């Protein structure tokens, strides 16, 4: 009886420790109903990646009526230290090239954001990454910068 209780306690503790951290603030492709349910879209690609401080999600999507690839980018601050105030900038690169005109965006972090999620519209690109592409996001704030490698999800 004593061993059964010990084994049960160990199982509960071990299964509780395996819960994966949500680096992406709960952002999911199926929540983007304005683009996922649009019949005019040719495709929608989702890329995700994270570091200890930031989670990044980029959606690349293209309308059948346009040659431009649109993006929607989300950054989630996961750092242990309080988020500094000031401008946060983001820039994405696909296979080492900065993506499209206006692939650079900034937003001011003037106060602590409750969910620490920041949304960027980083402009349109002429081509979209595919599953073999190397996509990176460069996040800068004050004197700190981090590069985040993203994978197609």
Residue 144: count other Cβ atoms within 10 Å of its Cβ: 11
- At residue 78, the 3 state secondary structure works out as coil
Q: Give the residue with greater pLDDT, 110 vs 43.
A: 43
Boundaries of domain holding 63: 22-152
| Number of structural domains in the chain | 1
Rg (CA), the chain: 19
122 three-state secondary structure: coil
Residue 62 lies in a domain: yes
Task: Tell me, yes or no, whether 14 lies in a domain.
Answer: no
The CA distance from 125 to 11, in Å, is: 49
For the cut 90, the answer to whether the pLDDT of residue 87 exceeds it is no
For residue 41, is it within any domain? yes
pLDDT at 27: 86
In a domain, 127, yes or no: yes
Residue 123 in any domain: the answer is: yes
Position 6 in a domain: no
Q: What is the CATH number of the domain that holds 131?
A: 2.60.40
Contact 107, 76 (CB under 8 A): no
Find all residues with CB under 8 Å of 121, minimum gap 6, and list them. 71, 72, 73, 105
Categorize the per-residue pLDDT at 7 as very low, low, confident or very high, splitting at 50, 70 and 90.
Answer: very low
Residue 8 within a domain: no
In a domain, residue 5? The reply is no
pLDDT of residue 109 exceeding 80, the answer is: no
pLDDT, one tens digit per residue, over 35-82 is 888 899 888 889 999 999 999 999 988 889 888 888 888 899 999 888
117 sits in the region (left: phi over 0; alpha: psi -120 to 50; else beta) called beta
Find tokens 């993203």 and name the residue: 150
Token output for 148: 């985040």
């Amino acid at each position: 009886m004593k061993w059964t209780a010990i084994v049960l306690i160990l199982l509960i503790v071990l299964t509780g420790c395996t819960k994966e951290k949500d680096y992406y603030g709960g952002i999911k492709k199926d929540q983007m109903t304005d683009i996922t349910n649009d019949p005019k879209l040719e495709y929608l690609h989702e890329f995700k990646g994270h570091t200890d401080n930031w989670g990044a999600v980029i959606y690349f999507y293209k309308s059948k009526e346009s040659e431009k690839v649109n993006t929607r980018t989300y950054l989630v601050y996961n750092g242990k230290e309080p988020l500094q105030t000031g401008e946060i900038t983001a820039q994405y690169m696909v296979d080492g090239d900065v993506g499209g005109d206006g692939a650079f965006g900034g937003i001011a972090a003037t106060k602590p954001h409750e969910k620490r999620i920041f949304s960027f519209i980083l402009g349109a690109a002429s081509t979209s990454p595919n599953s073999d592409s190397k996509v990176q996001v460069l996040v800068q704030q004050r004197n700190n910068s981090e590069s985040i490698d993203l994978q197609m999800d």
